[in-house]
Amino acid sequence: MEKASMYIFGMSCAGCVASVKMALEDVPGVKHAAVDLEQCMAVVEYEAPATVEQLESAVKEAGFTVEK
């Protein structure tokens, strides 16, 4: 199992956190996603076929900005 951490910008409320969490957990291979509004960070536990690029893409498609 792999673990990825990423900074996510553009979140302003619990609804944003829920959107990011749902987007990440919809990626095949993701086992768990924890999103922290105060830290502007997500920590994702995943395995194949998920990749970091897919995780970043899912967050961007949800309307947020990602930085490693």
68 has pLDDT over 90: no
Give the confidence band of 33 by pLDDT, cuts at 50, 70, 90. Answer: very high
Domains of the chain, residue spans: 2-67
What is the rounded CA–CA span in Å between residue 1 and residue 63?
Answer: 27
CATH of the domain spanning 2-67, picked from 2.60.320.10, 3.40.50.620, 3.30.70.100, 2.60.40.2470: 3.30.70.100
Mean pLDDT for the stretch of residues 39-45: 98
The span from the CA of 39 to the CA of 47, in Å, is 24
Beta-carbon neighbour count of residue 66 at 10 Å? 18
In a 3-state reduction of DSSP, which class is residue 53? Answer: helix
pTM score: 0.94
Distances (CA, A) of 18 to 1, 36, 48: 23, 10, 23
pLDDT value at position 59?
A: 98
- Is a pLDDT exceeding 80 seen at residue 6? yes
Residue 46 pLDDT exceeds 80: yes
